[in-house]
Copies of this chain bind each other. A is one copy, B any other.
C-alpha cells in the first residue's frame, strides 16, 4: 500500500509523473486535490467530481472535529462511506486552521489551545489527538500536526516553531504506529517541512522530515502571502533534500501558474480552495487568464466560459446565462463556475502529465504561460 511509482521525467526539470497507490484507488501525479472542507466539495456531488476528473479530495480535520465530530464519522463507517466519495481522501491535521484563523490562544510544546469557531469553547489539541481524530475520520492520507509560523516570523521564532513541528512529527508517527490495529484501512502519514522563508531552516527541516521515512513529504508554510520568487526559491532549496522516491505535497497551492512552476521544481501533489471559492464568487480561468463573470462585457456573450472546454458548464451554457445566475446569487451559477474551475485545473494537470511523459513539459509550460496573463 502507498507504493509510489515514478513513470516519466522531464529532461532539464525536476518534473515527474507517477502513481500513488491508496486503499481507495490509485492517484496519478502530479495531481490537484479539490478541497472538501466539511466532507463536501462545495456545490459538487461525488458524481460531479468524478465527471471533472478528480481522483482524490481533501477534507479539513479542524472543521469536522468540531462538528459533527470525528466519533460520528467513525460510527457512520468512516468518511468515504458517510460522504459517498469512494475514491482517495486526504485530511489535514487541523494545525493550519488553528494557527491561522486567529482562534489560537496558546501554543506549548505539549500542543495548542484554541477557541472553537462555532461557539468560542476552548479546545486543546496535541499531536497525539490530531492523529487519533484523523484515524477516526478514516482518510487514506493523514497529515502530521505542525506549527505553521506566520510568513513574517523572526528567524528565532521560525526555528522554535520548526523544532516543535519536528518533535510533534515524531509523536505523530509514534501514535500512528500505535493505532495501526484500530484502522479499517491502511493510512499513510505525511509529515510537514516548515522553516518559514529561511533557507538554512528549510534545509534542516527537509532533512529531518525525510529521515522519518514516511510514505510522503509535505511542504507547509508556503502560499501564505510570500512573493512568487520566494516560493520558487524555497522549493528549489527544499526539494533536493527530500526523498526522491516519495510523493511531494505542496500544501495550499494553487493557481495555474503556481502549479506549473511547482511541478517544474519537483512537486507531485497540490490542494487549494481557490477553484471552488473563486467560482462561487464569480471568478473563472481560461487560457487567457482569470476573469470575472459579472463583468458587464459578458452580458450578451454567447461563448462558453472557455472555448473548447468540455466541462458540463461550458458544454451547455453561455457566459450571458452564467453571468445572470451569479448576479442573482443562484446556486446553479456557483455550481457551474466551480465545475469549470475544477475541470480547468484538473485538465491542466492531465496536460502536464501527458507532456512530462512525452518530454515536452518545458515547451508546454512556456506556451501556456505565454498566453495566460497573470
A328-355 vs B, Cβ < 8 Å mask (1 yes, 0 no): 1011111110000000000000000000
A297-338 vs B, Cβ < 8 Å mask (1 yes, 0 no): 001101000000000100011101100110110111111100
Which of B43, B82, B299, B316 sits near A320, CB closer than 8 Å? B82
The answer to the question of A75 belonging to the interface, with a C-beta cut-off of 8 Å to chain B, is yes
The answer to the question of A360 belonging to the interface, with a C-beta cut-off of 8 Å to chain B, is no
The answer to the question of A182 belonging to the interface, with a C-beta cut-off of 8 Å to chain B, is no
Q: How far is it, in angstroms, between the C-alpha of A321 and the C-alpha of B40 when the chains are bound? A: 10
CB <8 Å contact, A321 and B67: no
Interface residues of A in 285-307 (CB under 8 A from B): 299-300, 302
CB <8 Å contact, A299 and B330: no
Q: Which residues of B contact A330 (CB under 8 A)?
A: 38, 40, 42
CB <8 Å contact, A84 and B45: no
A42-54 vs B, Cβ < 8 Å mask (1 yes, 0 no): 1111110000000
CB <8 Å contact, B334 and A331: yes
CB <8 Å contact, B42 and A324: no
Q: Which residue of B lies closest to A44 (CB)?
A: B332
Q: Which residue of B lies closest to A332 (CB)?
A: B40
CB <8 Å contact, A43 and B327: no
Q: Which residues of B contact A299 (CB under 8 A)?
A: 68, 72
Q: Which residues of B contact A68 (CB under 8 A)?
A: 299, 324, 327
CB <8 Å contact, B83 and A45: no
Given A46-B316, A312-B45, CB of A40 within 8 Å of CB of B325: yes
Given A320-B76, A324-B39, CB of A332 within 8 Å of CB of B45: yes
CB <8 Å contact, B321 and A84: yes
Q: Which residues of B contact A76 (CB under 8 A)?
A: 300, 302, 318, 320-321
Q: Which residue of B lies closest to A40 (CB)?
A: B332
CB <8 Å contact, A42 and B320: no
CB distance from A73 to the nearest CB of B (A): 9
Q: Which residues of B contact A42 (CB under 8 A)?
A: 330-332
Q: Which residues of B contact A38 (CB under 8 A)?
A: 324-325, 328, 330
Q: Which residue of B lies closest to A339 (CB)?
A: B45
Given A324-B68, A331-B334, CB of A84 within 8 Å of CB of B40: no
Which of B84, B300, B312, B327 sits near A67, CB closer than 8 Å? B327
Q: Which residues of B contact A327 (CB under 8 A)?
A: 67-68
Which of B40, B44, B45, B320 sits near A72, CB closer than 8 Å? B320
Q: How far is it, in angstroms, between the C-alpha of A83 and the C-alpha of B332 when the chains are bound? A: 11
Q: Which residues of B contact A67 (CB under 8 A)?
A: 324, 327-328
Q: How far is it, in angstroms, between the C-alpha of A336 and the C-alpha of B320 when the chains are bound? A: 27
CB distance from A356 to the nearest CB of B (A): 34
CB distance from A227 to the nearest CB of B (A): 34
- Can you report 9 A-B residue pairs in the complex whose CB atoms are below 8 A from each other? A40-B325, A42-B332, A45-B316, A45-B336, A47-B312, A67-B327, A67-B328, A72-B324, A84-B317
Known: A42-B332, A72-B300, A76-B320. 5 other contacts (CB 8 A): A38-B328, A39-B324, A76-B300, A82-B320, A83-B321
